[in-house]
Chains A and B, each alone.
Chain A
């Protein structure tokens, strides 16, 4: 699950290669300020991607996470406006996100609506919710309390990075040291077989949607801390970015295989590419094209390996 394999080394190589290329191409890329920007832009995606890793490993998907983050961010913003203590406001995000994740689970798991269709429907409903709550206006100029909390440095490392590292560690422990990990992956491999071998499929699936919701909610707290505003278009590309980063990281979209380190490296690579292309002078309108192309390109490149296996089994049968 978090073993360093060929995929992770390849990603690390790609990150280094991209850094070198962009440093040569743009004088602004290899600066401390820009490195900070990349890290700050990665925080939400790191957390949302972690949740998406679990969902994809389970053979599920959630395309509504962007707007789910939006709803949670509104909750965090209102908590800040109501003068909550910053640590409490930080917690509002995951709690709101977990609630929304439970809602998704109700539709997808208990209602047995296929995940892609169900979450697409929820995407519409949540977007309506964001609009209703914001009333077409921006929530801006939010108190700085949360921002200051996140940038507290412990041994030179900002709290935000520590929180993300802690979240990854927690999920890793859950996957490696508790039955949750094998059960999750067995559902991803084959839900029917998992059920027959006694895995509490419904419970695990609901839990995973709630965990993913909570992680995306935590991402919302980070979003508010980073930008101190919430507007209508919040999170519009988060789902695509998360799916692209997770697939890039080697988690199988068919379920049954996941890599947390891969996801983290995928997020970094994606953000470096997006940032670097912008600095080289590619208009930001091209970002969705690049991300979508990357997603399809990676899957197309993965083909030889999987098809070779397929052909092998065919020959074995003959």
Chain B
């Protein structure tokens, strides 16, 4: 077990991310000293929630290997929100809205999993296709307009705080990541995941149900996207068909930044949550400096490439 976390390189990655985070904060401290307040911490954690949940799903998919990647995460967030709201409008009791959102996400994710494991479509092509199908459906079904009518009892949870920490972060992200960490490191299922990502052939030879495991991680990625959608509903009070835009880029960046190998089998969830907070801090800082969101997309993209280049180069030198 200890060896597993060592191969994950978690401590080194965490240290590196912490250093980067301090650098980012110092940068903003120089550029805009007024940024520092308790409310900024709240904002950062609030904005982190959606990305954290989605990135966890992305992390699991990539860990499971087989060129696994889930480009459709953003589409799943958008479409699960839209589907759940449409179900409410079609007469479903609003009490079931959270369940509907999560189930919708899980089903969309399972569809990805079926395409990849049963139909043997290359994950990047399959999820690129479903990204457009899902996000296109979310837009087409709503005509691009935000859907109001979220039951009011959800809002206190989405916007509430405990000790100036946002509720969704405390009640959703923290437990979900804790469960994921425990499962990954201390359950047979978690070790299977690492094994099939690290060396698929030997995983198959020792009898690990590789296809079923991968189907499950795509389903989980969808379920987590549904949860992220639920957070967006409770937070924003409406279902926005474009809420998931750019999430594929950001979640991939977070996962790569968090030290997960793109080839699978190496990495952990600790690095991912640290990377998410780093990314969101960067974005929040840029937002406060009134930098257009397009620049944020560019910077996230540059960060993604830089991380991978550094990883390759350091591998060559060491």
Q: Which of B40-96 contact A (CB under 8 A)?
A: 69, 71
Q: How far is the CB of B286 from chain A (nearest CB, A)?
A: 12
DSSP majority for the A interface?
helix
Interface residues on B, range: 35 or more
Is B120 part of the contact surface with A, judged by Cβ < 8 Å? yes
How many angstroms between the C-alpha atoms of A71 and B252 in the bound complex? 24
Interface string of A254-292 (1 = CB under 8 A from B): 100000000000000000000000000001011111011
Bitwise, A139-161 to B at CB < 8 A (1) or not (0) is 00000000000000000000000
A13 at the binding interface (Cβ < 8 Å): no
Other-chain residue from A113, A254, A300 in contact with B312 (beta carbon distance below 8 A): A113
CB contacts (< 8 Å) of A307 on chain B: these are 120
Among A91-99, A123-131, A200-208, A222-230, the one that faces the other chain is A123-131
A247 proximity list for chain B (CB < 8 A): 125
CA–CA, A158 to B74, complex, Å? 42
B196 touches A (CB below 8 Å) = no
Cα A286 to Cα B294 in complex, Å, equals: 25
Contact with A121, one of B126, B139, B302 (Cβ below 8 angstroms): B302
Q: Per a CB cutoff under 8 Å, which of B131, B133, B301, B303 touches A293?
A: B133
The chain B residue sitting closest to A244, CB to CB, is B129
Contact, CB under 8 Å: B136 / A120: no
Chain B hits for A283, CB < 8 A: 140, 143
The contact sample of 24 A-B pairs, CB cut-off 8 A, is A111-B312, A112-B312, A113-B312, A114-B308, A116-B69, A116-B71, A120-B304, A121-B249, A121-B304, A121-B308, A122-B301, A124-B302, A124-B304, A127-B298, A127-B301, A128-B294, A128-B301, A244-B129, A288-B135, A288-B139, A292-B130, A295-B129, A299-B115, A300-B121
Q: A288-B135, A303-B120 are in contact. List 20 more A-B contacts (CB 8 A).
A: A107-B305, A111-B308, A111-B309, A120-B301, A121-B301, A122-B305, A124-B300, A124-B304, A128-B299, A129-B298, A237-B132, A240-B129, A244-B129, A286-B140, A289-B132, A296-B121, A299-B121, A299-B129, A300-B121, A307-B120
In Å, the complex CA distance between A116 and B131 comes to 14
The 3 closest A-B pairs by CB, nearest first: A124-B301, A128-B298, A292-B132
Indicate if A243 sits at the interface (CB-CB under 8 A).
yes
Q: What residues of chain A lie closer than 8 Å to B298, measured between beta carbons?
A: 124-125, 127-129, 131
Q: How far is the CA of A113 from the CA of B295 in the complex (A)?
A: 22
| A299/B125 contact (C-beta < 8 A), A107-B309, A121-B305, A289-B137 known | yes
Contact A303 B119 (CB under 8 A): yes
A239 to chain B, nearest CB (A): 8
Given contacts A285-B143, A289-B137, contact A240 B132 (CB under 8 A): yes
- Bound state CA distance, A287 and B133, in angstroms? 9
Partner of A117, one of B131, B133, B295, B308: B308
Q: Is A63's beta carbon under 8 Å from chain B? A: yes
CB of A292 within 8 A of CB of B129, answer: yes
Point out the residues of chain B lying under 8 angstroms from A296, CB to CB. Answer: 115, 121, 126, 129-130, 133
Query: In this assembly, does B276 line the interface, its C-beta being within 8 Å of a C-beta of chain A?
Result: no
| Secondary structure of the B contact surface, majority rule | helix
Number of interface residues of A (CB under 8 A): 45
**Smallest CB separation, B263 vs chain A (Å):** 8
Among B128, B143, B248, find the residue whose CB has the most chain A CB atoms closer than 10 A. Answer: B128
CB neighbours (8 Å) of A254 from chain B are: 122
Residues of A within 8 A of B (CB): 61, 63, 107, 111-114, 116-118, 120-125, 127-129, 131-132, 136, 237, 240, 243-244, 247, 253-254, 283, 285-289, 291-293, 295-296, 299-300, 303, 306-307
Complex CA distance for A63 and B140, rounded to whole angstroms: 23
Contact B308 A113 (CB under 8 A): yes
Contact of B301 with A243 in the complex, beta carbons under 8 Å: no
- In the assembled complex, the Cα of A209 lies from the Cα of B34 at a distance in Å of 46
- Would you give the shortest CB distance from A258 to chain B, in whole angstroms? 15
- With both chains docked as a complex, state the minimum distance between the C-beta of B307 and any C-beta of chain A, in angstroms: 9
B292, CB-defined interface residue at 8 Å: yes
Are A243 and B294 in contact, CB atoms less than 8 angstroms apart? no
Residues of chain B with a CB closer than 8 A to A118's CB: 305, 308
**B125-A240 in contact (CB<8A):** no
Residue from B130, B294, B298 whose CB has the most chain A CB atoms within 10 Å: B298
B262 within 8 A of A: yes
B149: interface (CB < 8 Å): no
In the assembled complex, the CB of A67 is this many whole angstroms from the nearest CB of chain B, namely: 10
Does B124 count as interface, using CB distance less than 8 angstroms?
A: yes
Asked if B33 is at the interface of the complex by the 8 Å CB criterion, the answer is: no
* Inter-subunit contact A287/B129 (CB<8 Å): no
Contact: B301 with A61, CB < 8 Å?
no
Does B19 sit within 8 A of A, measured CB to CB?
no
Q: If A124-B297, A292-B133, A300-B115 touch, does A243 touch B128 (CB 8 Å cutoff)?
A: yes
Q: Answer yes or no: B144 CB below 8 A from chain A CBs.
A: yes
8 Å CB contact of A299 from B119, B252, B305, B309? B119
- Nearest CB of chain B from residue A68's CB, rounded to whole Å: 13
- Bound complex: CA of A107 vs CA of B307, how far in Å? 12
A291 surroundings in chain B (CB, below 8 A): 132
Is B275 an interface residue when CB atoms closer than 8 A count as contact? no
Complex Cα spacing A253 to B119, Å:
14
B312 to chain A, nearest CB (A): 5
Cross-chain contact B120 with A287 (CB below 8 angstroms): no
